């Protein structure tokens, strides 16, 4: 069964105070612009003012860092994100780590990553959080379940592994360099794929009682595809749609991180 996700099932209560989210966008990446519009729309619905800073592609690291440091000092700004990917001449790790950890609603600073590793309270990357909320909403029991995470990014794969361990799941992380990847998929109860390879996992690679969470998004000839084919999802017990799947949860959970900011 293919599951589409209705954001209304996951939307929190609107903000009771005036909160603002600062989004820094560098360049003209079309996919990023779509995400920005979706983030701004949901934030506005929840009473969060999304302020988008559009910087030209040739902006220097110093320019971006100066902007971040200014936003760190503004009390009305409760969250700051840098829209990724950045142009190749910029170092995303260096830039992101100038964000005040209390305003790091993407959960990407060294402080946030370290707290997550140690099981401490912190902002969790929105996609990883969204996947965990999906499991909870659908009543999917994770304890003792073998979970394959395909992808090792700091936005999805790495934080998701830590969150699954908290629920006593048994996660394994793999990636596109695994030569036996497709042959191993049937060995798992749950598969989360986020490597951005359109229709990579097909019907013959999955089994009927699996849960398939598709985090991959690719655009081919104007159409959006996930990592997992629809036929594979129909064969499995449950598979998330692309689009109108985990991407919806990512945006909602980003807004939740802003609402839950203790500043």
Nearest-angstrom CA–CA distance, 34 and 232? 27
Please give the structure tokens belonging to residue 206.
């999955």
Among candidate residues 144, 147, 177, 175, the one with its CA nearest the CA of residue 161: 147
Q: How many CB atoms lie within 10 A of CB 169?
A: 20
Phi/psi zone of residue 119: left (φ > 0), alpha (ψ -120 to 50 degrees), beta? left
Instruction: Yes or no: say if 17 and 261 are a contact pair by the CB < 8 Å rule.
Output: no
* Catalytic annotation, pick one of 20, 78, 83, 103: 83
Among candidate residues 5, 83, 2, the one with its CA nearest the CA of residue 40: 83
Q: Is 83 a residue of the active site?
A: yes
* Catalytic annotation, pick one of 39, 78, 103, 235: 39
Q: Is 69 a residue of the active site?
A: no
The angle at the Cα of 164, spanning 160 to 166, to the nearest 5 degrees, equals: 120
Among candidate residues 222, 172, 175, the one with its CA nearest the CA of residue 194: 175
* Catalytic annotation, pick one of 20, 78, 104, 106: 106
Beta bridge partners of 185: none
Beta bridge partners of 23: 52, 81
Please give the structure tokens belonging to residue 37.
């519009």
Output phi, psi for 242, to 5 deg: -140, 115
- On the CB side of 229, CA atoms within 13 Å amount to 11
Q: Which residues are catalytic?
A: 39, 83, 106
């Amino acid at each position: 069964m293919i599951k589409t996700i209705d954001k209304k099932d996951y939307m929190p209560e609107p903000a009771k105070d005036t909160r603002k989210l600062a989004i820094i966008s560098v360049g003209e990446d079309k996919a990023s612009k779509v995400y920005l519009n979706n983030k701004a729309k949901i934030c506005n619905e929840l009473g969060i003012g999304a302020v988008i800073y559009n910087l030209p592609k040739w902006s220097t690291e110093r320019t971006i860092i100066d902007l971040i440091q200014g936003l760190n000092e503004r009390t009305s700004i409760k969250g700051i994100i840098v829209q990724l990917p950045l142009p190749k001449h910029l170092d995303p790790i260096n830039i992101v780590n100038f964000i005040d950890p209390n305003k790091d609603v993407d959960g990407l600073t060294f402080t946030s990553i370290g707290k997550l590793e140690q099981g401490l309270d912190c902002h969790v990357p929105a996609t990883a959080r969204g996947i965990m909320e999906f499991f909870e909403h659908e009543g999917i029991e994770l304890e003792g379940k073998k979970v394959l995470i395909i992808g090792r990014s700091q936005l999805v794969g790495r934080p998701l592994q830590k969150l699954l361990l908290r629920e006593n799941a048994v996660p394994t992380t793999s990636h596109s360099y695994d030569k036996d990847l497709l042959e191993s998929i049937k060995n798992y109860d749950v598969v989360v794929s986020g490597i951005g390879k359109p229709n990579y996992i097909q019907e013959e690679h999955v089994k009927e009682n699996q849960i398939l969470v598709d985090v991959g998004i690719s655009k081919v000839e104007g159409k959006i595809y996930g990592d997992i084919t629809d036929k594979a999802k129909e064969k499995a017990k449950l598979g998330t749609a692309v689009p109108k799947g985990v991407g919806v949860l990512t945006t909602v959970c980003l807004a939740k991180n802003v609402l839950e900011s203790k500043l």
